[in-house]
A and B are shown apart, each in its own frame.
Chain A
Amino acid sequence: MSAFARFPRRFRLPWRSPERIDREVDEEIAFHLDMRTDALIAEGVDPAEARARARREFGDVEEAGGSLRGADRAIEERRRRIEWLHELGMDLRFALRALRRGRGATLSAVLALGLGIGAATAVFSLVNWIELRPVPGVADPESLVLVQMRDESDGNTTGLSHPNLLDLRRGSSALRSLAGYEGIALQVAIDGAAPMGLMGAAVAGGYFSTLGLQAAGGRLLSREEEDSPIPGYEAVISHHLWRTLFGSDTHVAGRRIRLNGIDFNVVGVAPDGFRGTERLGETDVWVPGSAYSVLRHEDHWSLQDRGRKFLFEFVGRLQPGATPELAEQQLRATMDRLVKAYPEVNEIYSSYLPTVFPGIGLNVLAREHVRRTLLLMTGIVAMLLLIAWANVANLLLLRGVRRRGETAVRRALGASTARLLRSYLVEGVLLSLAGGAVGLLFGVAASRLFQGKQMGWLPEIDHIGLDWRVMGFVLGASLLSGAFFGMVPLWATQRENFLHHLKEASRTGTGRVTWLRGGLIVAQVTSATVLLVAALMLARTLHALSAVSTGFDASGVVAFMVDPSDLGYDSLQNRAFRAQLRERLIETPGFETVSVASSSPFSGGFMKFRLRPANAPDATPVEAYEFSASPEIFRTFRIPLLAGRGLASNGGDDEVVINRTLARQLFGSANPLGRTILGPKFGGPAAALYTVVGIVGDTRVQDLRSPEPDPVIYRPISALEAWRSVSLFLVRSSRPPSDVEATVRNAVAAIEPSLAIWNAEAVPASVADTISEERLLARMAILLAALAGLLAAVGLYAVVSYSVAQRTREIGIRMALGARMGAIVRLVSRGAAALVAAGIGLGTVIAVVGSRILENRLFGVERLDPMVYAAAAALFAIAAAAALWGPVRAAGGVQPTEALRQE
């Protein structure tokens, strides 16, 4: 009998293979049958009969064998799992102990990793918020497409009338449905509450059913309601509006809501988070298509009027298996037929073709630009993450070398490579998870920096939410880092003769480790240099852009919009309202000027006029920004009058003032005063003649980057007013913007209580907005480049200090043999300096090639500006010198006697 039962087992039994299990079960049964047969024979039974009886007594031998084999395999499997968990527990304890022992290194590794992962997380959460997350509430987003009527030659788009929309959809079997929508500015009020300016949308063609939305309360609009030509006064509100305006009233369905002064019935609430087809959408109210003309107070035109295009955005759902290309093909073919069938109203669609874009969530026109910006950000944080990785890998490598003795002992005790790898992996993953946790905190905090920022002309980012994608990203980045870090120490010691380490407890790095360490340093310096170059270029750009003179003074100017035509005022009533408001405001102490204009600078809301001198039919036309304004506009923006006079409040509609640049472009050096200009006329194809009455100073109103100021033509507001309502007010005052807003609000409420004001904001802010993306990128690049430089310098410091500590004895011997201080310093710093130089060189090459990506963002700095590259190299060289200073001094201070006594 074996002694195994007497002692609790301390060592694991070898795993049994399935084949071995099968063999052993057979052997066990055979043993049993043999013993029984022998016993029966001993009792005198005939041998053949004995064997048969033994089998009979046993039961069904085959079946028993099968079930025993199954049971044994299950037991073995379970044992393995338990063993594995047990070992994992051991590895975890071991790793925790190791991490605690090297507390300093652990802490700096976690911090470095936290910075890297944090920066990446912040950018990823932005990418997720803008590009990746699904539009809330929308079903099966993969089969949705956005459609536009687009002129390929200039990218302009146009709209569709309701009958055209329905016909288009009917002619395209690849689309299961096609819905159209168009935004409407709304004055929204419920009983007793002050009116608010919000965005609404008129929808047609089955908007809600196309998107597959489910009401959060009440019901949504049916396709019949959306398409009914009889004005429907039903409205769906956003979850957001339901919370803020209706206080989450569960009986909201059936309540009244006043839209532009007209009563509508709330029928239901859209799903939480849904604000239109764009992720950053801001729509709060949806009404049927027929409500469009009602809300705009236009004489009620019929939805059935084929010539009345009012839907400008379209979303469609593809049939299963259909491609966007097929849908586009069919839509274009259908449109071709519609052009032929209704040439008088549909002629325009021979150049504006239906164009299909896969996916919803991001405005089609913004997609390209936003993607490029996000890609650039991703590149920048990837650099930092790379540096953090190299940094931590180096730390672990140093520790791995120091722990060689330990590794050797474990190998000698029989730990397999796989076992060691797992133990190191556990340590690496543990470290990385800690880094990931720090990174998550850091990333969430850092993602707040994106709040209130704008990219291209997407709406402002109000907040960035966290979801499982971001969490998954952090976890993935951590685990990936962990796997990488787990390999490092093993890789450093693998295939080396561990007996050697066991005996000698050698502590110097061998060729392989030195090589890897050097490579990691070079990688860090390279990335840091690239980042530094990018940061310097973006910073120079930002600086140059901020220094561009706009030619006007917007400090103290507040813009706001108030449009009584929302409530159905005609142009006469509008003018009376404006005069009244102006009177009230100008009486307020501190208010200097009150003017109205078609748009404010850098709002992007300009029209471009194509102009030429009236008596020169051969002259090349000049494009100028059109600015309709009241006479006070020049005082409001402090634009100097250079010649002639300004706009007159009672002058003719054909009087214009032009700026100096436009004067030069039109008339060269000739005196422009009194000359006539041929240009377009509002509201029709006819041309009009304008007389120049004054010249004002140059301004930039749209483009900061063009070599010369924008050409601008100023026209009396009365000309614009004959065509559309005017709603933008510009107030110059010595009072703070919030104060101005309150005053304006009160003044408006006193005249028309159910009228809200929109977008009150200081104009300088909107000038700054035009470069907010540049500012964001530049700041981000500078911050990350600084972190990158710091990390790389710290990494360099750690490696060089370590190597000095290792070479204390060698240095001591050299000193004892009479080496001079200078020689020692050279000895220690030579290798490090070479690595830094290699990194800077490589980084410069990569930056030269990669700067192409930045090229069209740069302003006031050349892509290959040698100063930038020299400055980046010099900056990093200084940082490296600072990092080397400490260890080199330590080397110089080695006492030969002590160093020699050490071992």
Chain B
Amino acid sequence: MPDDALDLLQGTLEVLVLRALAGEPMHGYGIVQWLRSRTDGVLQVQDAALYQALRRMERKKWVEAEWAVTENNRRARYYALTPLGRTQLGRESAAWHRYAEAMFKVLTPAPGEPA
């Protein structure tokens, strides 16, 4: 685990999982791998917390789970986005974009200002 890994803010994990599942259904380990590769290891998720988040999202009907067989012929529990989950992803990513932009604007030094 790199030293500069960031702890996730509360509620952030769910957006990341939604995004991970936007492409295709994945099992829990796959989601971890995906997050690691997409953020170059900057965002670290504790595995146990990920599975808890998946249960929460299952209860909110954002994801559905089903057992399927992996490429290596092992049984794994796959999670897929529901239509509700997809809507939620759209809503949350828009909010994150606005938030990040605002943060960025505040933190970027104006011309002539010391950084």
Contact = CB atoms under 8 A, between A and B. Distances in A.
- A and B are interacting partners: yes
A793 B15 CA distance: 71
A29 B51 CA distance: 9
Nearest to B66: A4
A4 B80 contact: yes
Contacts of B78: 1-2, 5
A71 B29 contact: no
Interface string A47-67: 000000000011111011001
B77 A64 contact: no
B47 A5 contact: no
Interface string A1-40: 1101100000000000000000010011101101110000
Contacts of B58: 71, 75
Given A2-B68, A5-B80, A59 B59 contact: no
A820 interface: no
A68 interface: yes
Given A28-B28, A68-B55, A71-B52, A59 B64 contact: no
Contact of B77 (A4, A24, A63, A71): A24
A58 B67 contact: no
A823 interface: no
Given A4-B68, A57-B47, A72 B55 contact: yes
A554 to B, nearest CB: 81
A128 to B, nearest CB: 47
Interface string A63-85: 11001100110110010000000
Interface string B58-100: 1100001011110000111110110000000000000000000
Interface residues of A, number: 27
Nearest to B75: A27
A659 to B, nearest CB: 91
Nearest to A71: B55
Given A4-B68, A24-B67, A64 B74 contact: no
Contact of A32 (B47, B52, B75): B47
Contacts of A78: 59
Contacts of B74: 31, 34
A763 B97 CA distance: 95
A57 B33 CA distance: 13
B52 A31 contact: no
Interface residues of B, number: 29
Contacts, number: 76
- The CB with the most chain A CB atoms within 10 A, among B27, B29, B58, B67, is that of B29
A28 B76 contact: yes
B30 to A, nearest CB: 9
A35 B26 CA distance: 14
A1 B23 CA distance: 12
A70 to B, nearest CB: 9
A64 B55 contact: no
A4 B25 CA distance: 10
Interface string B18-50: 000000110111001000000000000011110
A5 B25 contact: yes
Given A59-B46, A68-B55, A36 B29 contact: yes
B59 A75 contact: yes
Contacts of B81: 5
Nearest to B68: A2
Contact of B48 (A35, A64, A74): A64
A35 B76 CA distance: 11
A64 B51 contact: yes
Contacts of B59: 71, 74-75, 78
B48 A63 contact: yes
Contacts of A27: 75, 77
Contacts of B67: 24
Nearest to A8: B83
A34 B27 CA distance: 13
A267 B5 CA distance: 81
Nearest to B80: A5
Nearest to B28: A32
A63 B77 CA distance: 20
Contacts of B64: 5
A738 B96 CA distance: 88
B76 A31 contact: yes
A2 B52 contact: no
A456 B70 CA distance: 85
B56 to A, nearest CB: 8
B49, B51, B78, B80 — which one has the most chain A CB atoms within 10 A of its CB?
A: B51
B91 to A, nearest CB: 21
Contacts of B1: 57
Contacts of B51: 28-29, 64, 68
Contacts of A1: 24-25, 68, 78
A64 B49 CA distance: 8
B51 to A, nearest CB: 6
B33 to A, nearest CB: 8
A27 B77 CA distance: 9
A512 B64 CA distance: 48
A64 B47 CA distance: 9
Contacts of A4: 66, 68, 80
Given A68-B55, A71-B59, A72-B55, 7 more contacts: A2-B68, A5-B66, A57-B1, A59-B48, A71-B56, A75-B58, A75-B59
6 contacts: A2-B66, A27-B75, A28-B27, A31-B29, A32-B32, A58-B48
Interface of A: 1-2, 4-5, 24, 27-29, 31-32, 34-36, 57-61, 63-64, 67-68, 71-72, 74-75, 78
Top 3 nearest A-B pairs (CB, nearest first) are A59-B48, A64-B48, A5-B80
